Amino acid sequence: MEIKKYLVEEQNFIDLGKSGIMERDYGKYRPNLCFIIGDSLITELFQKEGQSYKDLSRIEAKNTDKHNIEISGSIYYIKYGAYRKNAKGTDIFQVLPEIQAKHKLICVSWGGSFSSDRGIKRPAEYIYWRSASSNGGGTGCDYLIIDKDYYQEIDVEEI
């Protein structure tokens, strides 16, 4: 597969054989997750016109339902998949089609000049949470993994 070869040789993805590829997405503003993307999904994604090889982990889902979670900022991307930790404790998110997914990863970009946005208000029940911000705290991204069908209920007393 030419796409996979390119990603492994030129974009520093790790070849997992028949399981697909893995991207270690770590950094100051990054989610600090390992993304696994299966061979069939790679092929499907790059058959779409205009898809770039860079930032493969930013595969967007069409559904932007907020699950009744308070969000202050812009939803940068949403992905479906399955979250788990490996034996060493590494956080892994396997990107899957929505119908096969158990979890949903939501990335919200917030802050910047003259902006009062501050990301996602962490819900009571979440699977993974990371707030990646600048040293001054003026800009950043929040990453939240929740169950795909999660919906937060809010009492009148909480408002």
Residue with tokens 């993304």: 35
pTM, two decimals, is: 0.77
- pLDDT (tens digit, 9 = 90+) per residue, 32-61? 999 998 887 877 666 554 455 444 544 454
- pLDDT (tens digit, 9 = 90+) per residue, 124-154? 778 898 888 777 767 788 898 988 876 666 6
Q: Which residues contact 78 (CB under 8 A, 6 or more apart)?
A: 60, 61, 63, 64, 104, 105, 106, 107
Q: Which residues contact 157 (CB under 8 A, 6 or more apart)?
A: none
How confident is residue 89, by pLDDT bands cut at 50, 70 and 90? very high
What is the predicted pLDDT for the residue at 49? 42
Of 48, 40, 42, nearest to 6 (Cα)?
42
How confident is residue 94, by pLDDT bands cut at 50, 70 and 90? very high
- The chain-wide mean pLDDT, for the chain, equals 76
